[in-house]
Amino acid sequence: MLDNPLHKRLLLGALLVLALLFPVVAANDYVIYVMALAYIMAIAAVGLNLILGYTGQLNLAHAGFMAVGAYTVGILTVDYGVPYWVAFALAGFVAAALGFLAGVVSLRLKTHYFVIFTLCVGFIMYLVIEKWDWLTHGTVGLIGIPAPTPIPTPFGAIRFDTPVQQYYLVLAFLVLALWVMHRIVRSLLGRAFVAIRNSEDLAEALGIDLMRTKVLAFVLSTFYAGLAGALYAGFVRFLGPAMALESQTFDMVTFILVGGIGTLFGPVLGAVALTWITQSLQFLQDYRMIVFGPLLILLVMYFPQGILGAVNERRAKRAAQAAQAKRAAQSRQQSGRGAQANA
Amino acid sequence: MTDHTTPMLEVRGLSKTFGGLAAVREVTTRFERGRISAIIGPNGAGKTTFFNLVSGLHKPSSGHILFDGADVTGLRPDRMAALGMARTFQTTALFDKASVRDNLIVGHRLRTKSTFWDVLLGTPRLHRDERACRDKAEEVLDFVGLSGVADRLAGEISQEERKRVAFALALATEPKIVLLDEPAGGVNPEETVGLAQLIRKMAAAGLTVCLIEHKMDMIMSLADKIIVLDHGEMIAEGPPASVQSNPRVIEAYLGADYVAA
């Protein structure tokens, strides 16, 4: 189905066109709002997938870093009158700087110790946001965050006031985020990440500096979280400490597991699909877990690699078979020719 | 500083204690360049621990490790790899869902210099490095005789092929010495002969080889020197003939029934 790289490009092109046309066919502004929010969570999930899916380290503090990005934009614009785009540009770097500090400490731990440690780091970040009133407004939260300020161009200003305009802004960043992630995971650096996930001892024996490479993956993933948070702040326009809770990270982990862990588009598929499934199950309120829970269990049982993971596996198998058949045919041809020459 | 007479690898008084247990005790020996050495001994003798110490996975409790004349005691495994020490593991961990060729590409990464910024900007250096890694992967695949399975999924090849891929991965790092931990584990006698030939080919290409193995036939015909470990101590070392007839070795490991014909 997707074996041909041309087919793959066509599919991606078609998806992009669908995404661009979505606001036109959407029923109302609320639907556009939900989809854009799904894209923001997708950016955060793509970042988490780098440290979790590709490098094999489960960082449960990811939502905390998203909150850092969001609060950077919120605090700077609301309390200090910093221009929106300046605050926005800083958000990812602030989150990544904190990510560096957290990573250098926590990545000395392995497997479950690392997971538990980051769970605590995330909770500490939540507590700091909740208690540090004068900086973060504590439990009251930050309100009145401005929408992204218009960008002047020769053709008139690009405005971001309406949900449709903000949808396209978020979509643009999602495409950019995916493109950069694509470059990263396809490169030698990406292969180093995967080598670490596969076997840390083997990766080290191959000359990969474990600490340095893991910290790099961690910092990149928190940058993505900060970027998503910055978009979130300008989109939702109010923030509360609850966005830093580990339940938010678990949501993102679920997106990744469903969509395809360790795949490029898996987190996006998971974020969009699950956001809409949750929306459509809203009428069940708390009972939606009765539908959700078993679905997740079935998924983990039959598609542990997620939807795109299963697709990729099948593709890889077929590609391997095709290449083997090609080689077999070639060697038959050659020995046939050899037999003819000897005759 | 180093010349042809300096051993490729030398350990002096190497010891490792875990809690109260002495896994390796005061081992002093040398591995001459270009030679094939084997480490044998009963299970739990400390053979893999010895490899772990030498390759940097564990820090020695005491003693020194000299690699190509330089004191490398306490260096991390990735530093040791950069200096030219490659190793394989008892359980061959390959990325099963990727092709054999794909598995090998990262093996050459340590010899490249691209950074994250090269990746982000798609610099010529990145493209050169990726080209170099791909070429290296093809080269080592060919050396170990697996060009035919380059496109197969790593999870679907035979045990013997997996072992060859592990060799290839080690070779991709452009090492001076290769430590092979049970390279013929789970491999039938016929295939074992093939692997022994490959090991000889590696030594002929100038590599120093050190292997841990239990298959006596393989070792006796392959090794220039054998080191025998028992309970962490080296109880004998020397050419195969002398080790075979050493009474201590026979008692500890080979068994009274094993007599060289």
Domain holding B16: CATH number? Answer: 3.40.50.300
Instruction: Please say whether the beta carbons of B126 and B208 come within 8 A.
Output: no
- At A340 the pLDDT is 60
B45 touching A (Cβ < 8 Å) = no
Residues in chain A where the model's pLDDT stays below 70: 1-3, 336-343
B186 and B166 share one domain: no
- At A62 the pLDDT is 97
What's the 3-state SS for A303-316? CCCHHHHHHHHHHH
Instruction: Please say whether the beta carbons of A233 and A102 come within 8 A.
Output: no
| Inter-chain residue contact B55 with A317, CB threshold 8 Å | no
B132 and B241 share one domain: no
B117 and B148 share one domain: yes
Is the dihedral angle over the CA atoms A107, A111, A113, A114 positive or is it negative?
positive
How far CA A289 is from CA of A299, A303, B76, in Å, comes to 15, 20, 48
Radius of gyration of chain A (CA): 23
- At A32 the pLDDT is 94
B79 and B7 share one domain: yes
Q: What is the pLDDT of residues B103-129, one digit of tens each?
A: 999 999 999 999 999 999 999 999 999
CB burial string A63-85: b at 16+ within 10 A, e below: bbbbbbbbbbbbbbbbeeebebe
Please calculate the CA angle A280-A281-A283 and round it to the nearest 5 degrees: 100
Note down the domain range covering B166.
93-174
- The distance of Cα A75 from the centroid of its chain, to the nearest Å, equals 24
- Identify the H or E element spanning A81: none
User: Which residues 94-153 on chain B approach chain A with CB closer than 8 angstroms?
Assistant: 94-95, 97-99, 105-107, 109-112, 114, 116, 119-120, 122, 126, 129-130, 133, 148, 151-153
| Inter-chain residue contact B107 with A317, CB threshold 8 Å | no
Task: Quote the minimal CA–CA distance from A184 to chain B in Å.
Answer: 6
- At A1 the pLDDT is 44
Residue to substitute from B87, B106, B114, interface A, most A β-carbons within 10 A: B106
Q: What is the pLDDT of residues A182-235, one digit of tens each?
A: 999 999 999 999 999 999 999 999 999 999 999 999 999 999 999 999 999 999
- The distance of Cα B169 from the centroid of its chain, to the nearest Å, equals 11
- At B255 the pLDDT is 67
- Identify the H or E element spanning B156: none
Q: Which of B174, B198, B220 is the last residue of a domain?
A: B174
- At B20 the pLDDT is 86
Phi-psi region of B99 (alpha: psi -120 to 50; beta: other; left: phi over 0): beta
| Inter-chain residue contact B120 with A198, CB threshold 8 Å | no
Measured between beta carbons, which residues in chain A are less than 8 angstroms from residue B129? 188
B67 and B182 share one domain: yes
Instruction: Please say whether the beta carbons of A306 and A258 come within 8 A.
Output: yes
CB burial string B43-58: b at 16+ within 10 A, e below: eebbbbbbbbbbbbbb
Helix (H, G, I), strand (E, B) or coil at B172: helix
Task: Quote the minimal CA–CA distance from B259 to chain A in Å.
Answer: 38
Instruction: Please say whether the beta carbons of B197 and B187 come within 8 A.
Output: no
Give the integer Cα–Cα distance in Å for A275 and A279. 6
- B153: nearest CA partner in chain A: A320
- At B239 the pLDDT is 94
B120 and B75 share one domain: no
- At A342 the pLDDT is 57
Partners of A326 in beta bridges: none
- Identify the H or E element spanning B2: none
- At A341 the pLDDT is 57
From B93, B119, B130, residue closest to A202, measured CB to CB = B93
State the pTM of this model. Answer: 0.92
Give the integer Cα–Cα distance in Å for A298 and A307. 12
Measured between beta carbons, which residues in chain A are less than 8 angstroms from residue B130? 187-188
Question: What number of C-beta contacts closer than 8 Å exist between A and B?
Answer: 104
Specify the number of domains making up chain B. Answer: 2
Reply yes or no on whether the pLDDT at B261 is more than 60: no
- At A19 the pLDDT is 93
B245 and B222 share one domain: yes
- B167: nearest CA partner in chain A: A206
B57 and B133 share one domain: no
B99 and B216 share one domain: no
Q: Which of B174, B201, B219 is the last residue of a domain?
A: B174
**CATH code given to domain A27-280:** 1.10.3470
Task: Give the ipTM of the model, two decimals please.
Answer: 0.92
Chain A residue set in contact with B, beta carbons under 8 Å: 180, 183-184, 187-189, 191-192, 194-195, 198-199, 201-210, 216, 220, 312-313, 316-317, 319-320, 323-324, 327
B185 and B137 share one domain: no
Residue to substitute from A100, A179, A202, interface B, most B β-carbons within 10 A: A202
Q: Which of B174, B191, B220 is the last residue of a domain?
A: B174
Measured between beta carbons, which residues in chain A are less than 8 angstroms from residue B95? 194-195, 198
Give the integer Cα–Cα distance in Å for B197 and B218. 10
| Inter-chain residue contact A204 with B105, CB threshold 8 Å | no
B228 and B241 share one domain: yes
B148 and B187 share one domain: no
Closest CA to A107 of A235, A259, A215: A215
Ranges of each domain in chain A: 27-280
